């Protein structure tokens, strides 16, 4: 039988999704549910000095008005997965504009909204720091960089001395803006208490994290918290931590003694669950006349909230440490605290922003050296990870450059800026390297082989829309010799065996080996039952093969139904486990991004007109969902390059474009036909199946490829994202 893994199988949940049958957090029919509405601060810094709830409490249908004055006291969460460390509604201090200051519960949503707007809060306003750029001199060293696992700084050789002595140099500052994830599904939670047990239906990328955080905050054992989330309407990082809205819903449900539902508005999504912070990055590159890098220095600063809310440092320099071969490399990470909400992970955290700076600088170096940008990268190719001093588990980046360049037609490029035109329109070709760590974390899975040959399997993982249901179904189909139609894989329920949060492209490499091991365990149990049967005399497990509910052996066959009936079993269960990543190798995926832009020389309009991305991401478990990830990631990158920016009013610290009419993401005419290439290769070090996660890799390097193309088209080097009309108007 041909392997099911790898095939472009349609999503197994596709029909449910397009017919509205897939149930998202806010859609669960929970009897007796009442509605909550959040109230948020309108000042960026200060203290609440008075809360007048009298009008709101007297309104029809109102069940509770919860403010810092009457909110349940919560335990601080010290959970490792969470960037959010400050429980909510615990004091009167206001640290950003849009902070949650009350939650109002009523029998209907309309009545809750009306009461929420009748709440009167009086503030004592303090002076606020609202923009990062006005506070760069206050930059500080992160206290818990990468969860405390390493220093925010690194050094190899002497980057400053080598830079000073070098022949050819680039020294530039790059800036990326605040961006918001904006998944289609806003955050939503329904919470229901039964005594001291709570069930929470919530839109999350991590049911285990939600379970442990809520247990800690409410002082109950994790076993008393059940988290259910079968579908996520996009997360991109903003549903990775358990943010205050989920906690407040549970608090409100406990207070009113009824199930409570809270669904955020789009505007509230901008201040309630993180964002990609603004960065200011200074990059210095130096090379010898032959284009060999002799020094790299990358000093990254990222914007933070006030420190008491938690800590999130955008790790912009990590890729810089390992992407190129260079004897002298220095990297630093610093934070700048402002009166803003807490930032968080957003698709390709660190790499998306950091590689924009590094790969723009590499393009500037190629121009200074008069070397082709692809050739410059080949001359500095890192065969091993010089930062970790380890071999790569798999690195086919050279093939990505070669296949990507060929598909794009890169050899036809005239290197001179403004040299390529279509009529009056300026054409620019740019490229950049992509990289993202290949991650794996401990996970467990359970598989039940049933008498009729069908399989039920599960793991407490998530499907963010990326295809977890589908690829796990494929893995099981191959392992147990069964059609994917006879496999039912369940996830998104904390009563299932635990799995890590879906972030950092970890799900496939963490969960698929656990599923595979669970299948192997079930199969082994089945074979043991058969081998104990006198009819199997003379056979060993090497003689047995399971296919379509029958175990086949030379000249003999054992239908599953009979084996199970004889053993008095309804099903055979196998459990499997994945450990954390192996230590001997550096684990990274790679890619090469090639973009063509068309720029109107008079009007400054920039449009991406062609795109090729070639990726080295191990074995692809599903060619269709895999390609969808690449297209989605590249589209996300086009938004980062040309459109996305959350603008802050400097006076009040309030976001001004907090809706989808004014926060621009690409629409269809902004996205050209995207050619995607998976470079062949398997990574058995990370995953016995040879696979890696690919959720984030495809967006890394898109913004610099486009920025480099804009430079090639116009001769204008834009170092601040997004690149807009006024930047190239001349």
**Choice among 185, 644, 645, 696 that is catalytic:** 696
Indicate the residue among 56 and 464 with the shorter CB distance to other proteins: 56
Which tokens sit at 563? Answer: 């084996």
Distance CA 549, CA 547 (A): 6
Q: What are phi and psi of 147, to 5 degrees?
A: 65, 20
* Burial grade of 219 (CB within 10 A; 0-12, 13-18, 19 or more): exposed
Which tokens sit at 662? Answer: 């004014």
How far apart, in Å, are the Cα atoms of 690 and each of 6, 309, 462?
11, 39, 21
Beta-ladder partners of 552: 545, 557
Pairing of strands 34-40, 260-263: parallel
Indicate the residue among 151 and 609 with the shorter CB distance to other proteins: 609
Q: Give least dist CB 308 to other proteins, A.
A: 23
Q: Give least dist CB 550 to other proteins, A.
A: 53
Indicate the residue among 184 and 537 with the shorter CB distance to other proteins: 184
Which tokens sit at 112? Answer: 């809750």
Are residues 699 and 676 in contact, defined by beta-carbon separation less than 8 angstroms? no
Helices marked H in 133-265 — which ranges?
A: 159-165, 207-218, 244-256
Indicate the residue among 113 and 224 with the shorter CB distance to other proteins: 113
Q: Give least dist CB 649 to other proteins, A.
A: 5
Q: Give least dist CB 652 to other proteins, A.
A: 7
DSSP class of 393: S
Which tokens sit at 71? Answer: 């909110």
Q: What are phi and psi of 640, to 5 degrees?
A: -60, -40
Residues near 621 by beta carbon (within 8 Å), at least 6 away in sequence: 5, 6, 471, 474, 475, 508, 512, 689, 691
Q: Give least dist CB 356 to other proteins, A.
A: 18
Distance CA 566, CA 578 (A): 32
Binding residues (CB under 8 A) for other proteins: these are: 42, 97, 110, 113-114, 117, 267, 602-605, 607, 642-643, 647-652, 654, 656-659, 661-662, 664, 666-670, 722, 724-726, 729
Distance CA 421, CA 423 (A): 6
By C-alpha distance, which of 420, 411, 428, 432 is closest to 357? Answer: 432
* Burial grade of 630 (CB within 10 A; 0-12, 13-18, 19 or more): buried
Q: Give least dist CB 628 to other proteins, A.
A: 22
Q: Give least dist CB 641 to other proteins, A.
A: 11
Q: Give least dist CB 665 to other proteins, A.
A: 8
Distance CA 90, CA 131 (A): 26
Instruction: Give the 3-state secondary structure of 507-527.
Output: HHHHHHHHHHHHHHHHHHHHH
Indicate the residue among 564 and 631 with the shorter CB distance to other proteins: 631
For residue 696, indicate whether it is catalytic: yes
Are residues 361 and 376 in contact, defined by beta-carbon separation less than 8 angstroms? no
The dihedral built from the CA positions of residue 528, 533, 539 and 544, taken in this order, carries a sign that is negative
Distance CA 403, CA 385 (A): 23
Indicate the residue among 541 and 657 with the shorter CB distance to other proteins: 657
Indicate the residue among 207 and 703 with the shorter CB distance to other proteins: 703
Indicate the residue among 42 and 325 with the shorter CB distance to other proteins: 42
Q: Give least dist CB 598 to other proteins, A.
A: 11
Indicate the residue among 194 and 726 with the shorter CB distance to other proteins: 726
Q: Which residues are catalytic?
A: 696
């Amino acid at each position: 039988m041909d392997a099911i893994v790898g095939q472009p199988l349609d999503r197994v949940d596709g029909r449910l999704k397009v017919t509205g049958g897939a149930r998202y957090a806010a859609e669960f029919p929970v009897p007796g549910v009442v509605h909550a509405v959040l109230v948020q601060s309108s000042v960026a810094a200060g203290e609440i000095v008075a809360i007048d709830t009298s009008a709101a409490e007297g309104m029809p249908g109102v069940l509770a008005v919860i403010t810092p004055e009457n909110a349940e006291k919560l335990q601080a969460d010290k959970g490792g997965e969470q960037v959010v460390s400050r429980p909510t509604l615990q004091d009167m201090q206001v640290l950003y504009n849009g902070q949650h200051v009350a939650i109002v519960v009523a029998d209907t949503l309309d009545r809750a909204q009306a009461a929420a707007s009748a709440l009167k809060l009086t503030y004592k306003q303090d002076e606020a720091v609202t923009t990062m750029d006005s506070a760069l001199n206050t930059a500080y060293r992160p206290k818990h960089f990468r969860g405390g696992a390493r220093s925010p700084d690194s050094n190899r050789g002497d980057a400053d001395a080598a830079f000073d002595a070098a022949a050819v140099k680039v020294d530039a500052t790059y800036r990326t803006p605040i961006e918001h994830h904006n998944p289609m599904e806003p955050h939503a939670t329904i919470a229901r208490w039964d005594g001291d047990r709570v069930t929470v239906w919530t839109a999350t990328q991590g049911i285990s994290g939600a379970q442990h955080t809520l247990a800690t905050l409410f002082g109950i054992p994790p076993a008393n918290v059940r988290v259910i989330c079968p579908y996520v309407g996009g997360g991109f990082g903003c549903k990775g931590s358990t943010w205050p809205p989920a906690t407040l819903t549970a608090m409100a449900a406990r207070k009113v003694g009824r199930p409570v539902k809270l669904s955020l508005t789009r505007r509230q999504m901008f201040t309630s669950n993180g964002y990609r912070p603004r960065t200011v990055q200074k990059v210095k590159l130096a090379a010898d006349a032959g284009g060999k890098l002799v020094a790299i220095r990358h000093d990254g600063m990222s914007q933070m909230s006030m420190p008491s809310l938690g800590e999130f440092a955008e790790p912009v320099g990590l890729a810089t440490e390992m992407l190129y071969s260079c004897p002298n490399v220095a990297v630093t990470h610093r934070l700048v605290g402002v009166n803003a909400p807490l930032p968080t992970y957003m698709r390709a955290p660190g790499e998306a922003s950091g590689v924009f700076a590094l790969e723009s600088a590499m393009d500037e170096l190629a121009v200074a050296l008069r070397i082709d940008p692809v050739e410059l990268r080949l001359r500095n190719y890192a065969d091993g990870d010089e930062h970790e001093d380890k071999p790569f588990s798999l690195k086919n980046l050279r093939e990505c450059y070669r296949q990507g360049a060929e598909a794009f037609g890169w050899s036809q490029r005239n290197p001179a800026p403004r040299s390529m035109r279509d009529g009056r329109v300026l054409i620019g070709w740019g490229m950049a390297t992509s990289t993202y760590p290949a991650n794996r974390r401990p996970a467990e899975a359970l598989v039940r082989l049933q008498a009729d040959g069908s399989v039920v399997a599960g793991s407490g993982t998530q499907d963010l829309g990326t295809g977890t249901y589908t690829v796990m179904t494929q893995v099981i189909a191959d392992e147990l010799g069964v059609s994917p139609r006879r496999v039912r894989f369940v996830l998104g329920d904390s009563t299932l065996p635990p799995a890590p949060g879906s972030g950092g492209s970890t799900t496939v490499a963490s969960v698929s080996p656990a599923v595979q091991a669970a299948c192997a365990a079930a199969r082994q149990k089945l074979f043991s039952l058969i081998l104990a049967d006198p009819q199997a005399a003379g056979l060993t497990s090497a003689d047995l093969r399971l296919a379509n509910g029958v175990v086949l052996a030379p000249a003999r066959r054992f239908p599953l139904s009979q084996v199970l009936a004889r053993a008095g079993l309804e099903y055979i269960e196998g459990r499997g486990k994945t450990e954390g990543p192996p230590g001997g190798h550096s684990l990274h995926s790679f890619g090469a991004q090639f973009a063509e832009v068309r720029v109107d020389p008079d009007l400054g309009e920039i449009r991406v007109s062609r795109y090729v991305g070639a990726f080295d991401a191990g074995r692809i478990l599903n060619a269709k969902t895999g390609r969808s990830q690449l297209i989605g990631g590249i589209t996300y990158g086009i938004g980062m390059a040309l459109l996305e920016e959350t603008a802050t009013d400097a006076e009040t610290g309030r976001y001004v474009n907090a809706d989808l009419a004014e926060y621009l993401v690409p629409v269809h005419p902004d996205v050209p036909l995207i050619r995607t290439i998976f470079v062949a290769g398997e990574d058995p070090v990370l995953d016995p199946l040879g696979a890696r996660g690919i959720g984030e890799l495809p967006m890394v390097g898109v913004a610099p490829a486009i920025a480099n193309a804009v430079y090639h088209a116009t001769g204008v080097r834009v170092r601040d994202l997004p690149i807009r009309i006024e930047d190239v108007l001349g």
